Structure 1
Amino acid sequence: MAQNQFDLLRQRRFLPYFATQALGAFNDNVYRQAIIGLLFYLHASAAEKTLYANLAPALFILPYFLFSATAGQIAERLDKARLIRITTAMEIAVMSVAAVGFVTASLPVLLVALFGTGLQSTLFGPVKYSILPHVLKPEELTGGNGLVEMGTSMFILLGMIAGGLLIQEGSAPSALWMAGGAVIALAVLGNAISRLIPPVPSTVPDLKINWNPIPETHKVLALARKQPAVRNAILGISWFWFVGTVLTAQLPAWAELHLGGSQTLYLFAFVLFSVGTGTGSLLCEKLSGRTVEIGLVPLGALGMTVFCADLYFARPGLAPVSGLDIAGFVASDGSWRLMLDLVGVGLFAGLFIVPLFALVQSRTPKNELSRVIAGVNIQNAAFIVGAAIIALAVQKYLGWSIPQVFLALAIANALVTLWIFSIVPEFFMRFLAWLYIRTMYRLRAEGTEEHVPDDGPALLVCNHVSYMDALLISATVPRPIRFVMYWKIFNTPGFGWVFRAAKAIPIASAKENPELMQQAFEEIDAALADGQLVCIFPEGALTRDGEIAPFKSGLEKILARRPVPVVPMALRGMWASIWSRRQARLRHLRIPRRLRARVQVIAEAPLPGETATAALLEARVRALRGDAA
């Protein structure tokens, strides 16, 4: 198992896949930028450039609407490594057509090949993200997705630069041959690397493919909307593409009109945005503690809003001078604020998108994930088209300037994210928990990655020290956990909605409410039958003296009914922290000796449910906790 995300780049299960998808992004953008260079090489008229500017994006994105549903079914049915080899072989054929277009300087042939690259990207899209849960452990998902997003943004940028250098106005005729040879060579290299990807067996080998895209599109979109958290994560992903499309589409004109530069300054602005996105994507693993931490999503949304709005306030009018190169712009007044805004928007966009993809991958059944990703791609395509139309309309018919578009985009981003988080409170709740834990504690986990099962049911048992125990445990376990909670705490005024959003299970004693107790056992059993993780605190209450109280027999009732693996866990250092009962005169609160108390969550290998008893588990938890109360 990788100790951090960069270790994945040394492992065959990830590196060939990463290199293949990065090369694909690089080659696509080499090709598209070389076509733009060809227009200048041919001294194309303004009408021809306008035709390309409108037709090219439409040709590239059209296959996403037509073939995504079919692509999702194919990715579900075939071995995913084999499908990647097929799509990269298809890229060789498409780029061979593109090479003919470059050598003959034929724009129609190049546009046909552009449609082909869109089709190839459509077929590759579902497997690009659905393969990750098969080759990565749950605690590696965030880091793996961060690397993929970083690689994609960086290689898009490098492809744009390389493609722009291949063909330029005034280039020699040999440049056309070089461009054709380059795109074929890159496609061949991508296919060669893809052959190193280890087999990833089909999830539904007997799936009957429906070749009619219309009903199948409805079906994959329905799959994508089946679970509320996944549905709204997908909405967030599509909104990310909306924001990115509006923002990056304005950069060429914005660099000229409001930064005072030219094509070179546009690429510099795109570099800043891309570097920010790559950095934010890589930071996700560190900030999340190697879990799927959707609490980063509101943080990312907030940062995107702030920095996008500041693009307006930093330069609301036209640039005071023109004709600046990169050095001239950097030396001009206000440039550093603008550069910081571009990096900031990209960085927080990375924090926004990576956890959303990881959530979709972790909470979607593996036998549906490729089709769900196909649904994501269809919705993304719709949002991209909508973004292009809306951005064009507000500038043409409302007369908005580009900085005004940025300000409107920031406001829209704030409103949309508030709406998403209001209908699924889990996002905002996890953000508050993430913020609180990293402010109040220095949390270290030991054994949770190795001993908590990656899938399937398991019962987690842990000592109970403070009201924050559930937050700390969930922050160290990459899978969602159903916590069993005392019913009076579950119904605390003002907090009940939080516990319901977290799908906590309320329980009472037999004396207090026998019906609720029985209902809790039924719900625990149903969750375990569904393959979920359930965590209980067998002491039945918070410790009053820092010591572990005897474990109650309720856990034996759970295991007698469904003998799932049981993972002993222990909390260390919590007795001296806030929210324990160490000092009752402070109304059960205690300010820690230091602001960030050192606490640990420790787990050991699971015990078979058939042989685990309350006494045995209590002894294991006591040994794990040791003297570090």
Structure 2
Amino acid sequence: MAQGNTQSLLRQRRFAPFFCTQFLGAFNDNLFKQALLILIAFQGTRWGVSNPDVMINVAAGLFVLPFFLFSPLAGQIADKLEKSRLIRAIKLGEIAIMGVAVAGLLTQSLWLLITALFLLGAQSSLFGPVKYGIIPQHLRDDELVAGNGLVEMGTFLAILIGTIAGGLLIERADAGPALVSIAVVVLAVLGYLASRRIPNAPAAAPDLTINWNLFGEIARNLRYTYGNRTVFLAIIGVSWFWFFGALLMTQFPNYTRLALGGNELVGTLLLAAFSVGIGVGSLLCDRLSGQRVELGLVPFGAIGISVFTIQMFFTVPTELNVDALMTPAEFLATDYGWTLLTSVVLLGLFGGFYIVPLYALIQQRSDPEHRSRTIAGNNVLNALAMVLASGFAIVLLGVAGLSIPQLFLVVGVMNAAVALYIFTLVPEFLMRFLIWMAIHTVYRLRKQGLEHIPEDGPAVLVCNHVSFVDALIIAGAVRRPVRFVMHYRIFRIPLLSFIFRTAKAIPIASAKENPQLLEEANARIDAALADGEIVCTFPEGRITDHGEMNTFRRGIEHIVRRRPVPVIPMALSGLWGSFFSRKDGPAFLKLPRRLLERVGLSAGEPVAPHEATAELLQRRVASLQEETP
């Protein structure tokens, strides 16, 4: 395993204290918020609430409104100041806010509690840009997915524990408010103590002049973010997730009571199932992505989100016992209980697949000096999305008269449409999805020696050519983006052409076939290497017809003479005889032998450009092919 795996990060000071601070903060937020929502939903009349449905959505909207109001300022402060010190100041503010919450609980003042919820949202809005800005300062690129997966897992585990604790504590008859009061203060103090161990994270833009014009700064951040189209659309995808997630989780208490006939503990069980699913999905991202920012998981996650949200519409009882609400045990004893619980877990699981790569992508591809302000812009759009979610729910439930299951159906269909729209705007998501699916459903890939590929800077990969999907296998295994040089006829194959074009592959032809295309390809190869990119070429010039390597052509020598860069030999094994090879007939025109065929990919030590002859490279590739697992 790489040094940046999840267990390693949790033992290191550069990550562990931050993780604990984030966990305790999310725990405290959700303990208090859940206690308040349960008070409104189940004891609303006693606390002066006339319409619990509307008040729950008002409370949810007030919690996220500060993200819209204060995120622009928070992003500037996070870029201007040293982040560990800023986090400690924010955690001190949390202790004061929880004092307001305690006053509201002990005096039974609903509006004081709503004020504390608003202030808690303000404190969280200040923490957001610091949280996602400090991760790439303390972690390497190959640790970003693991780090973000742990943060998302920790956040939703904190949501789970906080939700359960908030529900259990507040229902303790008259002692509930006092127990919640003690808990929120203790957690705030522990969060501050954990923050004192976070290592320094130097200011990214210490000379930044703070712009106090709220709307002007919002517009400037969004204009800047819009300049990086992939990051901007990733932010749109994240904001949609929070629209979807906020709407879904806010409805769980009343969905439980009105659609399922369950008590508050059943609602807590469903929230717990959703949080466990998110946590497991977030942790699996690092494993499934091979410790890289794997955008192919995003469409996979979006598909699962729609499927299991729509499933929640169909998995509801046709008749309810209005005399008594079910306990968790009674709910699970019904003919729909376990089906619904499994759907909620899988909904969370696919949500983790969706959100973690998007956060990692935003961090990886943002300008470091503007990263916190980019994240602040993300938070503004997220907050706007969550406020709109509250309004959307109020309109459909209160005005249009939809039931909560019908609301879930509408949102599930909307998620499919929004995801499809984003993926058409950024073909890279769909391209990576097709590659990821090929690697994980058609083949079982074993890799070795890929550490020889440099983490940055230009290099040329040379590999044997066995099948029409060789480039997909290599693209799915190598952490860095790869520019492939391939015969123009393969480049034009339907469907594969979409992937190759999106990956900026370079079509090439022989001098005899098309001298102009050859000249253009050589110029593009040289330009890619000059820009510090990885280029992969198949020196045989064609896919093997007999399973053995064809003679390497001397085009590789021309490439490295023109641009002296390291050459890394690579070898594929196990693809001969597959559906995409030419064994036993043309590729694509025979039945696959089996799914999950074992395929190997090995890389050898770099060859210096002045030694990189076609003959030497062919011998190295042949040797690697014999050793490939």
TM-score normalized with structure 2 length:
0.89
Alignment pair present for 1:405 and 2:407: yes
Q: What do the CA deviations read for 1:38-69 (whole angstroms, capped 9, x no partner)?
A: 77599421259789646543443222112222
Instruction: Point out the more displaced range, 35-44 or 317-326.
Output: 35-44
Please state if 1:229 is matched with 2:214. Answer: no
Q: Does the alignment pair 1:144 with 2:147?
A: yes
Matched, 1:371 2:401: no
- Deviation of 1:25 after TM superposition, in Å, equals 0.3
CA 1:486–1:210: 2 relative to 1, 3 Å: farther
Distance between the aligned counterparts of 1:581 and 1:430, measured in 2?
25
**Further displaced range: 506-515 or 242-251:** 506-515
Give the aligned partner of residue 430 of structure 2.
Answer: 428
Q: C-alpha distance in 2, partners of 1:569/1:614?
A: 14
Code of the residue aligned with 2:493 in structure 1: it is T
**In structure 2, how many angstroms separate the alpha carbons of the residues matched to 1:245 and 1:134?**
29
State the AA in 2 paired with 1:132: I
Aligned counterparts of 1:383 and 1:351: Cα–Cα separation in 2: 20
State the percentage of identical aligned residues. 50
Q: Which residue is equivalent to 2:507?
A: 506
Corresponding residue of 2:388: 386
Conserved? CA contact 1:101–1:107, under 8 Å: yes
Change (3 A) 1:112 1:562: farther
Within 5 Å, give how 1:51-200 maps onto structure 2: 53=56, 56-102=59-105, 107=110, 109-168=112-171, 170-172=173-175, 176=178, 179-200=180-201
Unaligned runs of 5+ in 1: none
Alignment partner, residue 496 of structure 1: 497
Pair 1:569-2:554 in alignment: no
After superposition, the Cα gap between the structure-2 partners of 1:121 and 1:560, relative to the gap in structure 1 and judged at 3 Å, is farther
Counterpart of 2:271 in structure 1 is 270
Cα distance, 1:256 vs. partner?
0.9
Deviation at residue 619 of structure 1 after TM alignment:
4.5
Does the 8 A contact of 1:75 with 1:370 survive in 2? yes
- Structure 1 residue aligned with 2:621: 621
**AA matched with 1:419:** Y
Mapped contact 2:84–2:198 kept (Cα < 8 A): yes
1:41 and 1:170 in contact (8 A); partners too: no
Deviations 1:525-549 (A, max 9, x none): 4434444333222333323444445
The equivalent of 1:353 in structure 2 is 355
Counterparts in 2 of 1:117 and 1:528: CA distance versus 1, 3 Å: farther
* Structure 1 residue 267, shift from structure 2 partner: 1.0
Equivalent position amino acid for 2:596 in 1: R
Structure 1 position 503, deviation (Å): 1.7
- The one-character-per-residue Cα deviations of 1:431-453 (angstroms, maximum 9, x if unpaired) are 233222223221011232x3333
What secondary structure does 1:626 align onto?
helix
- CA separation in 2, counterparts of 1:304 and 1:54? 22
* Contact 1:234–1:356 under 8 Å retained in 2: yes
Q: For residues 357 and 346 of structure 1, do their structure 2 counterparts lie closer, same or farther at Cα, with a shift above 3 Å needed?
A: same
Superposition TM-score, scaled by structure 1 size? 0.89
Cα separation, 1, equivalents of 2:462 and 2:614: 10
Residue 555 and residue 56 in structure 1: after superposition, are their counterparts in 2 closer, same or farther (change >3 A)?
same
**Unmatched tracts of structure 2, length 5 or more:** none
Q: Distance in 2 between matches of 1:263 and 1:493?
A: 53
Determine if contact 1:577/1:591 at 8 Å carries over to the other structure: no
CA apart distance, 1:325: 1.0
> Aligned with 2:572: secondary structure?
strand
Where 2:368 maps in the other structure, the secondary structure is coil
Q: 1:318 to 1:523 in 2, by over 3 A?
A: farther
> What is the RMSD computed on CA atoms of the aligned residues?
3.2
1:598 alignment partner in structure 2: 598
Report the secondary structure of 1:210's partner residue: coil
- Aligned ranges 1:507-526 → 2 under 5 Å: 507-526=508-527
When residues 426 and 54 of structure 1 are mapped into structure 2, their CA distance, relative to the original with a 3 A threshold, is: closer
**Per-residue Cα deviation, 1:562-608 (whole angstroms, up to 9, x for no partner):** 4445443322333343423444x445877676543322222245456
Q: Aligned equivalents of 1:253 and 1:37: distance in 2?
A: 10
> C-alpha distance in 2, partners of 1:104/1:401?
35
Could you tell me whether the CA contact under 8 Å between 1:261 and 1:325 is conserved in 2? yes
Higher alpha-carbon deviation: 612-621 or 114-123: 612-621
CA distance in 2, matches of 1:474, 1:18: 32
Distance 1:588 1:351, change over 3 A: closer
**For residue 76 of structure 2, what is the amino acid of its counterpart?**
Q
What CA distance in whole angstroms lies between the structure 1 residues aligned with 2:517 and 2:527? 15
Q: CA offsets, 1:375-396, max 9 Å, x none?
A: 2211111111111111211122
